Structure formats: C-alpha cells, structure tokens
Chains A and B, each alone.
Chain A
Amino acid sequence: MRWELTRFSPGGLNAPRRARILAFGLALAGALLEIAAAAVGVLAPAGAVFSLPFGVELFSWTVRLNPLSCYFNLALGILAAAVSIYSFGYLRDMEGRRNLGVLGFFYNVLLLSLTLVFTAANVFFFLVAWEVMALSAYFLVSFEHEKEATRRAGTVFLIMSHAGTGLLLVGFLILAQAAGTLDFAAFHHLASKLPPSQQGLVFILFFLGFGVKAGVIPLHVWLPAAHPVAPSNISSLMSGIVIKTGIYGMALVFFDFFDAPPVWAGMVVLCAGVVSALLGVLYALMEHDLKRLLAYHSIENIGIILIGFGAALVFRGMGHPELAALALIAALYHTLNHAIFKGLLFLGAGSVLHSTRTRNMEEMGGLIRRMPVTALCFLVGAVAISGLPPLNGFVSEWLTYQALLAGFGSTAELTRVAFPIAGALLALTAALAAACFVKAFGISFLALPRSEHAAQAQEAPVSMRIGMGILAAGCLALGLGATWFLPVFDTITAQTIGVKMGASLTAANGLVLTSGTFRGGAVSTVGMAAMLVLLSAIPGMFWLAWGRRSRRASGPTWDCGLPGLTADNEYTATGFSKPIRMIFSALYRPRREIQADYEVSLYYPTAIRFESEIEPAFEKHFYDPLQAWLFRFAGRMRSVQAGSIHAYLAYIFVALIALLLFGVRG
C-alpha cells in the first residue's frame, strides 16, 4: 500500500515551478514504488487485501492485490514514470501561463484513481475509483478549455463514460444480487452460475460498459476527440493506460467473474475486436492530425486486444483452458505493449507539438534533422506499433496469430471459420497500420520542412528525451526479452483460468518463444536481432570490397527539370492515403471540393484550394441523429412547462382523479 500515499499531491500551489517539480516528482516517486510493488505482486502473488483507513463506514474502501491487478499496475507504473519525467520538460514553457498546480493535482488524482481501479476489491470502491478516474481525465482533457473543441471533447467523453458506468452498475447489481455481497472475491466464477439469459445480459452490459472506456467501435466516438486535445503527456496516459481500464474490467469480468462464458459471447468479442481493429486503422489512415491519428490507432489496438480476448473466451467456453490461456496472454501482452509504444508515440507527438506548435502533419516534415532523438524514438514506436520484428508489437501480434491458428484446429463447429478470417483481417489491419505509420513518420519527420515552424523546430529538452527514451527502450526490451517476460503470466492465468503456460511457451533456454505444445510455431526476436547483426557482415564485405573506393556525392533530388525542389512538391499526408481513400470509399464516403482561381485560362490557375473530408459514419448515422432526436424530444417536452397555470393545475387534477380511481379499485 505504500505507493498509494505518495499520490497525494500539492494542487494549486502558487509557485508554478515548485508545483510542477513537486507534483510530477511525487508522481514519479509513486510510479517507481508502484513498479516495484507490482513486480513483487505479479511474481509472488500474496493475495493481499487492505482496507483504507477512511471513507464512510457504510462502505468498505478496500483494495486487493492479485496478479491481474499487479500486472496492470506494472503497465501503469512504467508509463507513469516515463510520462512524469517527460512532464518536467514538457510543462516548463507553460509556466506562468497556466495553473500547473491544477494540472499536477488532477494528474496525480488520475494516477491514484487508476491504481485504485486496478486494485479495488469491491463494487462500490471500484465504481468510485472508476468515476474519479473519468472525472480527473475529464479535467485533464479540458485543461485547455478555452477552445470550443476541447470543451466539447471533454463533455462527450465524460457523458459517454458516465453512460457506460450506468451499464456497469446494472451488471454489478445483478452479480451483487446473486452473491449477496459487493466483494469481488465472492464474484469469482459467479456469473457462470446465473441462469443463461442473465449470463448473456451480464456479459453484454459489462462488454458495452467497459467497451465505452476502451473505445470499442461503435462506442469509440469520444476517443479520437478527447485524446488529441489533452496536453500530450496526458494524451499519452489516456491512450496508454486509461483506455486499458476497460480492458482490465473486461479481463476481470470475462475471466474472473465468468468461469466459462457462453461461446457466442466470445464470438461477439472477437467480431467487435476485428471491426474495431480494422475500422480503427482505416480511420487513422485518413487523419493528418498527428494526435488524432494516434488516437484512432488506439482503437485499432484495442481491437487487437479484443481479438485475443474473444479467442480466449471461445476456447474457454469450449473447454480448452490452455488455448484460452495462450489467447489471454497474447491479449494481455499486447495491452502492456500498446501502453508502452502508444505512450511513446504520444510523447513523441507531444515533442513535435511542443516544438512546432502544430498537430497538422502537413505542416511538419524534415524534423528528423532538427529533432534526431525524438525522431528515433518515434520511429521505434512506429515500428513497434506496426507489429514489425523484432520489437514488442510483433511478439504480441504473433501470439495472437498463434492463438487464432490453434483455435481453428481445436474447435469443431462451423464458427471456427471465424478464426482464420479474423487472422486475415488482423493481417490487413497490421499492413494498413504499417502504411499509416509510414505516412505518419514519413510525412512528419522526413524530407523537407513544410512550414516555417517545422524549419525552426528545436529538439526537445533533456527530460522529455529521457521520458521517450525509457519507453523506446521498453519497446526494445519487451520485444527482445519477451521470453523472459512471459513467465509473469503464469500467476495471472493461474488466477483466472487455472492453468500455467509459462514453461511451455519458451524453448531453447528461453531464447525461443513457442506457441505451446499443441500446434507448433516458434519465433525468436532475440535470434532475429542477432542474425540481423551477423548478416550485416555481408553488406560489410561488399563495402570492403568495392564500396570504399566508390564516390558518395550529394545532390539535389530529381525535380523533373523544374527549377528546384521545394516542400510544395512533396507528397502530402492526404495524398499518401488517397489510394486507400479511393479503395474504401464506400466506407469513407469522401467529399471533396476543389476551388481554382484563374485569370487567363482554366488551365493556368493562380490558386487552388483543395478540401477533402471523409464522412464520420458512426457520428453521422447514429450519434448525431440520436442527439438531435433527444434534443428535439426534450424541446418538445418543454411545452409541458409552457407557463399556463391552468395547465399546471390540470396536471394535478388528472393525477388526482386517476389516483382516486386507482386507490378505489386496486
């Protein structure tokens, strides 16, 4: 419990510098303690339960430490440590302009509430922590509340989050009713003892409720709005860990509260995962706002995690605990990986924003030279998120593929066709993600600067580089060291599914990762990295043989004979994704508008304005009409209160007569 106490922070200090250092220093200290505690908790589960010494005595403010909660706390701790270090530098130039005490206060509240969400031991305390988390996230998102878009994003976020909490509440009530208590301990495998119809209801309620927070399509609309508008260190936490609370909740419900959920439930999760992954990346491709692009990728990665969850659920329902454990490991590992690389990418985007004052990729370019460290870190993150070897994203995607593959062979029903299809669509997703990050990195960091700001960009301060560096190193370590890390999951799978997989997942002295014993498959990121190093001897030889003597000159890029290549000639982000926009136009329904001013002839325009946008399908066809309908309905309801006292009296009169007759009869 020791890390809890360090989280109380100094909000509202007057001296901005002291507030910044104190708040984020404490957060850092808390995060480090948390890493230590979580590591101990994961490796040596003691099943500790603590009651906090405050709160109204009607409720128990109790936390527990089990492997699952420790694992999520570990992810939180790592990310929080890096982000806290990063924040020292990131916030420095906000000093004096903004109340950093408030930011620091809510930042610490957010970290504390996240910790509590992951460790709360009963329904009541979980909901309190859950909502406090949403609330502090709301304030952090709304930190720059002068902008209309920011306020709107925060509001939409909190409202959707609250609606999701409502669903959770109902789900918890059903369980609490069956258990007769609010303690999570009593919920263990309880949901599977409910009658089937209630099982289904509980499952759907929790899936939707946690799905809102996780950003599952179609409940995602708040996410791409809210994540970009927050300060980047906050965005990093939001995308890295806050949406993972939804994943934590699902893990808790699906694998702890349920024993063997109905198979269709797993299929639902699998399908939702595929849809979220694919649509997430497709929407990401269309963005040229760097942070929005990253936010859509969070949706994609949540989808990938859900594919693992869905597979695990199906396996569990069909009685394959080992397979379920494999799929669960894949999903949870991807959760941690995504926390690290998405955190890294948002920090990278934050550095760019910090330096160029824009989130629009079309105004960046050439930053790799002005900001080499940021660029390198961002590149590491981009490679990792694209699932390319030998970094961590590859490992978890590989595990997911293996789980899907094993699923086909191990189940008998027609539904098994869903697994390879899911795998194929996951491959599509991954390939599109790679395309998207080629665009994100290529347009933002490579070639010539596209604006004055980009040309004048400065490398981020040391603390920011350290923060990013930690996470980049994390990507590398979790990629290369996967086989050493995976035994961690033994305690978690033992807690949830009741099997231990760690030993069968590694081979060759822990150098090679396998998919377990049933369906073969092996991969070694370390081996690959080593081989890449060894193989570089070949080009080295060429270089020794011929290259030394060859002349290396630098010259202008081929410009088709026009005088001088400028940034205007470069491919734009919009242009880059044009083929995809055309191919998936049925989804995007793009709208474009070209306006050309010309003097002499149409063929010699003096200025062209090009505007293109895609149709946000869910907003346009579901949320906007819903909202419009609601407000129209509410507006119509206003005529109830139209000011006529006669009408008011008539309401009472009607109620009186109705009740009199009711009272007599019934």
Chain B
Amino acid sequence: MGLLVFLLIPVVAAVLSAVAPTRRDMENANIAGFGVTFVLALLIAARVLRDGSVSLWDGFLYADHLSALVCLLTASVALVCSVYAVGYLREDESSGLLDDDARTAGGRLSPPVLLPSDEHRPPAAAKLRKYYVLTPLFVFAMLGVALANNLGVMWVAIEATTLASVFLVTFYGRVTSLEAAWKYAIIGGVGLSMALFGTVLVYYSGHRVVGMETLAGLNWSVLAGHAAQLDKTTMRLAFILALLGYGTKAGLAPMHTWKPDAYSEAPAPAAAILSSAMLNCALYGLVRFYILASRCLGPEFPGRLLLIFGMLSMGISVPFVLVQRNFRRLLAYHTIDHAGIMVTALGVGGKLGALALMLHMTYHTVAKSLLFLCAGNVSQHFKTDLFDKVKGGVIRAIPVTGAVFLMAMLAIVGMPPFSLFQSEFLIVRAAFGAGHYVPTALFILFGTGIFAGALLHVGGMVLGEGQTGGTACPASAWRDGSMLALAAALVTMAFWLPAPLLELIRGAAKVIAG
C-alpha cells in the first residue's frame, strides 16, 4: 500500500496546485508534496533494504533495490528543485520575464478546442500554475517508471514523462522554447515508439514461456526469472529497439539532439530534474532490458552495443563542449557525456561495472542538478545564458554561486576529491579489467576533452574581473539554500557515503549483475 500512496502523493500535489488560489499555496503544495514523497522514498528504501523487495497488486508495482534507489534520487531532486523553484520563479515573476508570451507577439488566433483556456488569467499566474501542476505530474510519471513491474506500463510511464515535461520546456513561451519543445516531443515520440516495438518483441519472445494474455507476461520480475528460455533472435531485436528507444530518452548519441535544446529552454529547476532524475529513469528502463538481454543472450551482445553507444555519446559531446557558447547547453552536453559514461559502465558489466554505474548515477544526480541550479542563478543574475555576455567575473558578482558552480563543474568532470572521480575510476578499472582496452583509452581521452572544455568555459566565466554595473538580482534564501544543500551533499559524498545508501547502491548493482 505504501507504494501506491507514494505514487499518488505527487498527483495529489498536482491537483492541489491546480486548484490553489494563490501562488503561495501552489508553492506550499509542491514543497509539502515532495517533502512527503521524499520521506516515503526513504521509507521504501528502508523496507527494500530490510525485505529485499516490495510489491503490490500481485507484482504490478514492484520495488527492488534498483527501483528504490531511482525513486530516492528522483524524490530528492524533486524536493530540492521545488524549494529552488520558489525563489527562482518569484524572481522570474518580479523581473517580468513571465509576462510576455510568444503568442501575443504572433497573430491573434482563437485557440482550438483542444487548448486549455487560460486566456482570462494574467499570463504570469497561468505560467506559474502550469509549472506547479506539471512538475508533480512529471515526478509522478518518473516514480511510475521506477515502480512499474510491467514493461508495458513502464513504457506508458516513460511516455508520460515526455508528455508532462513538454510544457515545462515551453514554459517561457519564447520562440526558441517552442522549437525545443517540438524537437523534444517529436524525437522523444519516435524514440519511444521504438521502445514500444521492443517491448512488444519482448512480450513475443516471452509469451511462449510465461503464457499469454496475462498481465504477468510482461512483468519484468517474471521475465527475468525465465530470461534464459526467451527466444534469442527476438530478444536481440527487442534489445536493439529498446536501446534505441530508451537511449533516445536518455540522450545517447546519435539520439541526443533534443537534449541541449530542451535543457536550455526549460526553467532551471525543471532542467535540473530533466537532466538528472529523468536521465536516471530512462537509464533505468534501459537497465531493465539489459538485464533481460544479458541473461538471455549473455552479456557480450548487449555489452558491445552499449559500449558503442557509450563511446559515441562521450565522443560527440567533446567538440560541443569545447566550442560551446551557452552554458546551459554546455551542461546538456555534459549530461550526454554522462549518459554515455553510465551506458559504458553498463556495457562493461560485471559486478564492478554495475556498482560503478549505480554509484555514478547517484553522484551524477547530485552534481548535475546542482549545476543546473547554479546555472539558473547565473542566468537570472546576468539575464543571459551566453558566456560572451556574462564576460567572466561571476565570482565577483555572486561569489557563492560562482564558487559552487566552479566546484560542481570540477566535480562533474571527474576531478578528485569529488565523488564522480571515484565512480569513473571504478568504471575505467572495470572496463580495463574486462579487456576493453580501446574503450578505456577513449574514455580517458574524451574525459580529458570534456575537462578542457568545461574548465575553459566555466573557469573563464566564474573567474575574472567581470563587468561592472548592471542590476543585481536579489539574493534569495530559497535558491541559495537549496543550492548550498546540494553542494554540501556533493562535498560530503566525496568523503563519506551513509552506510544504508551504499547498501542500497550495492543492492541495485546486485540486481544488475546478479
């Protein structure tokens, strides 16, 4: 029952926000909702640690270590971002960023029947409501991904994450946000249709083994139990399609193209959720398929494909990071890079690879969401996302943000002592140990390229004299508090990981590697 409550809390928050009379009520509903979600995620994690797995409705909802970890990460990010969003959106509102709308700039046309009508409200309030309603729904869909045992339902949930987040991308209603949303929706749609095809094929490969016309025929836990008997040819095709499909959602190259657009257009807290929690969910889906495929076909076939995509993703992000002009897009390419890293870890496989993957997922979630929050601060202060216009000196203008930004950037490119170094070290160790010499070398090479780009741009932006004058954006305890909380978590993780969390991570790795 706990699972259901856990899943429904964000829906309740969404409903409350939809009917809340004031902005403050919406904010409260969100924060309270995510707070409860977070606590429940902790409880579920504790139960999983105690019992091994939790399930509901004959295994329709199912949580093992892997799901519990993803839920916990999602809930944490959602909570921090909801706190941040309060400060962020208030600032946006007071600076008038929400007032104008692309639509008012274009020709006046009456909306079609399909559109929810918000014409009578001032645009700012409507936008805020949109944010506060959609974010919980988005989170709901992500939690659904992690908890759905049925692969079909999982697919539905992932599709739902896209649909819920499209309008977060269009939040500002700029011309470019429409463009980004369109690309996001179309590419995401195509990608997920491939995943659906893959899901159908998995069902097909399993229907003779586990019986048809039952819901359980698509249950992952059932399929995983019979993985060795599944039809091999079908499974190969199914894995390919699932890899392409969930890979699109995770932003693996060459399906990554929507990512920089969507991340740079969404409001900072939403981008933070997209780039950390949603990436985790997409990878989660991929991991589930990987487990089936590797148990059915052996780890060789899926591993090789994953390595190829991992290398491609890491490689493609290097030049874009090197010549990037927009810091939010820079972060997006970092996410592509890290998706590649995690997929590489998965492809390397084995106990070490799986452990590295789970550690990296945890660490990356913290660091990347922190980076987007910092980027949000910078872009609100300087009213731009371009390096050229910031002209350096962030550390002078907003010292705390600047320092944290640089620190998080160094963390994300795998600089010790920060924790991502530890997981990346494990990955290369595992890859090298498994005899993947060329991928290891490429991993290190690309890592250096990414590092160079990040240091060049972010170092140049944070340090320096900076420009004088300009209107400062007032400090906000909401924003800075949530940012500092994440920063503290990042620093702490470098030296200490709570034992239960490590236990959870190990458990998740065990789910993957058996």
A/B: CB atoms within 8 Å of each other: yes
Binding site for B on A (CB under 8 A): 54-59, 124, 127-132, 135, 142, 145-146, 148, 151, 154-155, 158-159, 162-163, 166, 169-170, 173-174, 176-177, 630-631, 633-635, 637-638, 640-641, 643, 645, 648-649, 651-652, 654-656, 659-660, 662-664
Say whether B455 contacts A649, CB under 8 Å.
no
Residues of the B chain whose Cβ atoms lie less than 8 Å from the Cβ of A633: 319
**CB proximity of B306 to chain A, nearest CB, Å:** 12
Please name 12 pairs of A and B residues whose Cβ atoms are closer than 8 Å in the assembled complex, sorted by A: A124-B422, A145-B395, A155-B455, A166-B444, A170-B440, A174-B432, A176-B429, A177-B432, A177-B433, A630-B322, A631-B322, A633-B319
Once the chains are docked, how many angstroms separate the CA of A130 from the CA of B416?
Answer: 9
B452-481 near A? 1/0 per residue, CB < 8 Å:
100110011001110000000000000000
- Name the one of B190, B355, B410, B451 contacting A649, with C-beta atoms under 8 angstroms: B190
Once the chains are docked, how many angstroms separate the CA of A174 from the CA of B429?
Answer: 10
Residues of the A chain whose Cβ atoms lie less than 8 Å from the Cβ of B419: 56
Closest to B179 in A: A643
B194 within 8 A of partner (CB): yes
Once the chains are docked, how many angstroms separate the CA of A155 from the CA of B409?
Answer: 14
Say whether B255 contacts A652, CB under 8 Å.
yes
What DSSP secondary structure best describes chain A's contact surface?
Answer: helix
- Name the one of A155, A176, A177 contacting B459, with C-beta atoms under 8 angstroms: A155
Known contacts A135-B415, A652-B248, A173 near B432 by CB under 8 Å: yes
Q: What 9 new A-B contacts, CB under 8 Å, besides A151-B464, A173-B432?
A: A56-B419, A151-B460, A158-B455, A166-B448, A176-B429, A638-B323, A645-B187, A648-B258, A651-B254
Residues of the B chain whose Cβ atoms lie less than 8 Å from the Cβ of A660: 237, 240
Once the chains are docked, how many angstroms separate the CA of A146 from the CA of B396?
Answer: 10
Say whether B237 contacts A663, CB under 8 Å.
yes
Once the chains are docked, how many angstroms separate the CA of A649 from the CA of B445?
Answer: 29
- Name the one of A58, A130, A146, A170 contacting B441, with C-beta atoms under 8 angstroms: A170
**CB proximity of B235 to chain A, nearest CB, Å:** 10
**CB proximity of B304 to chain A, nearest CB, Å:** 9
Say whether A58 contacts B426, CB under 8 Å.
yes
Question: Chain A CB within 10 Å — which of B182, B257, B426 has the most?
Answer: B257
Say whether B187 contacts A649, CB under 8 Å.
yes
Say whether A155 contacts B460, CB under 8 Å.
yes
Residues of the A chain whose Cβ atoms lie less than 8 Å from the Cβ of B248: 652
Closest to B463 in A: A145
Once the chains are docked, how many angstroms separate the CA of A176 from the CA of B464?
Answer: 41
List CB contacts (< 8 Å) of B278-331 with chain A.
305, 316, 318-320, 322-323
Residues of the B chain whose Cβ atoms lie less than 8 Å from the Cβ of A640: 316
Say whether A132 contacts B417, CB under 8 Å.
yes
List CB contacts (< 8 Å) of B153-196 with chain A.
179, 182-183, 186-187, 190-191, 194
- Name the one of A124, A155, A652 contacting B187, with C-beta atoms under 8 angstroms: A652
Once the chains are docked, how many angstroms separate the CA of A58 from the CA of B182?
Answer: 44
**CB proximity of B429 to chain A, nearest CB, Å:** 7
- Name the one of B319, B355, B455 contacting A638, with C-beta atoms under 8 angstroms: B319
**CB proximity of B388 to chain A, nearest CB, Å:** 15
Once the chains are docked, how many angstroms separate the CA of A169 from the CA of B451?
Answer: 15
**CB proximity of B217 to chain A, nearest CB, Å:** 23
Closest to B493 in A: A56
Once the chains are docked, how many angstroms separate the CA of A226 from the CA of B344?
Answer: 35
Residues of the B chain whose Cβ atoms lie less than 8 Å from the Cβ of A142: 459, 463
Residues of the B chain whose Cβ atoms lie less than 8 Å from the Cβ of A58: 355, 359, 422, 426, 502
**CB proximity of A126 to chain B, nearest CB, Å:** 10
Once the chains are docked, how many angstroms separate the CA of A127 from the CA of B410?
Answer: 15
Once the chains are docked, how many angstroms separate the CA of A159 from the CA of B191?
Answer: 37
**CB proximity of B364 to chain A, nearest CB, Å:** 15
- Name the one of A127, A148, A654 contacting B425, with C-beta atoms under 8 angstroms: A127
- Name the one of A56, A130, A135, A158 contacting B497, with C-beta atoms under 8 angstroms: A56
- Name the one of B186, B323, B425, B451 contacting A645, with C-beta atoms under 8 angstroms: B186
Residues of the A chain whose Cβ atoms lie less than 8 Å from the Cβ of B425: 124, 127, 169
Residues of the A chain whose Cβ atoms lie less than 8 Å from the Cβ of B464: 145-146, 148, 151
B381 within 8 A of partner (CB): no
Say whether A656 contacts B186, CB under 8 Å.
no
Closest to B393 in A: A146
**CB proximity of B23 to chain A, nearest CB, Å:** 35
Interface residues on B, range: 35 or more
Residues of the B chain whose Cβ atoms lie less than 8 Å from the Cβ of A645: 182-183, 186-187
List CB contacts (< 8 Å) of B201-231 with chain A.
none
**CB proximity of A650 to chain B, nearest CB, Å:** 9
Say whether B465 contacts A146, CB under 8 Å.
yes
Known contacts A648-B183, A659-B240, A634 near B422 by CB under 8 Å: no
Known contacts A159-B455, A633-B319, A634-B323, A128 near B417 by CB under 8 Å: yes
Known contacts A635-B323, A648-B187, A651-B257, A656 near B194 by CB under 8 Å: yes
**CB proximity of B380 to chain A, nearest CB, Å:** 23
Say whether B463 contacts A151, CB under 8 Å.
yes
Once the chains are docked, how many angstroms separate the CA of A169 from the CA of B452?
Answer: 17
Say whether A127 contacts B416, CB under 8 Å.
yes
Once the chains are docked, how many angstroms separate the CA of A169 from the CA of B427?
Answer: 12
B421 within 8 A of partner (CB): yes
Once the chains are docked, how many angstroms separate the CA of A645 from the CA of B187?
Answer: 8
Once the chains are docked, how many angstroms separate the CA of A54 from the CA of B179?
Answer: 49
Say whether B445 contacts A56, CB under 8 Å.
no
Known contacts A127-B416, A131-B421, A648-B187, A641 near B257 by CB under 8 Å: yes
Residues of the B chain whose Cβ atoms lie less than 8 Å from the Cβ of A659: 240, 243-244, 305
Say whether A132 contacts B416, CB under 8 Å.
yes
- Name the one of B260, B428, B460 contacting A173, with C-beta atoms under 8 angstroms: B428
**CB proximity of A146 to chain B, nearest CB, Å:** 4
- Name the one of A166, A173, A635 contacting B429, with C-beta atoms under 8 angstroms: A173
Question: Chain A CB within 10 Å — which of B182, B322, B395, B447 has the most?
Answer: B322
Say whether A54 contacts B495, CB under 8 Å.
yes
Once the chains are docked, how many angstroms separate the CA of A166 from the CA of B443?
Answer: 10
Say whether A166 contacts B447, CB under 8 Å.
yes
Once the chains are docked, how many angstroms separate the CA of A507 from the CA of B240?
Answer: 77
Residues of the A chain whose Cβ atoms lie less than 8 Å from the Cβ of B426: 58
**CB proximity of B247 to chain A, nearest CB, Å:** 9
Closest to B260 in A: A641
Closest to A651 in B: B254
Residues of the B chain whose Cβ atoms lie less than 8 Å from the Cβ of A649: 186-187, 190
Known contacts A56-B497, A166-B447, A652-B254, A154 near B459 by CB under 8 Å: yes
- Name the one of A130, A145, A155 contacting B456, with C-beta atoms under 8 angstroms: A155
Residues of the B chain whose Cβ atoms lie less than 8 Å from the Cβ of A55: 495-496
B236 within 8 A of partner (CB): yes
- Name the one of B237, B395, B451, B495 contacting A56, with C-beta atoms under 8 angstroms: B495
Say whether A652 contacts B415, CB under 8 Å.
no
Say whether A151 contacts B421, CB under 8 Å.
no
Once the chains are docked, how many angstroms separate the CA of A483 from the CA of B465?
Answer: 52
Residues of the A chain whose Cβ atoms lie less than 8 Å from the Cβ of B444: 166, 169-170
List CB contacts (< 8 Å) of B399-441 with chain A.
410, 415-417, 419, 421-422, 425-426, 428-429, 432-433, 440-441
Question: Chain B CB within 10 Å — which of A59, A162, A643 has the most?
Answer: A162
Say whether A163 contacts B432, CB under 8 Å.
no
**CB proximity of B411 to chain A, nearest CB, Å:** 11
Residues of the B chain whose Cβ atoms lie less than 8 Å from the Cβ of A54: 495-496
Say whether B440 contacts A651, CB under 8 Å.
no
Once the chains are docked, how many angstroms separate the CA of A124 from the CA of B432?
Answer: 15
Say whether B320 contacts A638, CB under 8 Å.
yes
Once the chains are docked, how many angstroms separate the CA of A173 from the CA of B318?
Answer: 23
Residues of the B chain whose Cβ atoms lie less than 8 Å from the Cβ of A174: 432
B126-163 near A? 1/0 per residue, CB < 8 Å:
00000000000000000000000000000000000000
Residues of the B chain whose Cβ atoms lie less than 8 Å from the Cβ of A177: 432-433
Say whether A641 contacts B429, CB under 8 Å.
no
List CB contacts (< 8 Å) of B231-285 with chain A.
236-237, 239-240, 243-244, 248, 254-255, 257-258, 260
Say whether A631 contacts B417, CB under 8 Å.
no
Once the chains are docked, how many angstroms separate the CA of A662 from the CA of B426?
Answer: 30
Say whether A131 contacts B502, CB under 8 Å.
no
**CB proximity of B442 to chain A, nearest CB, Å:** 11
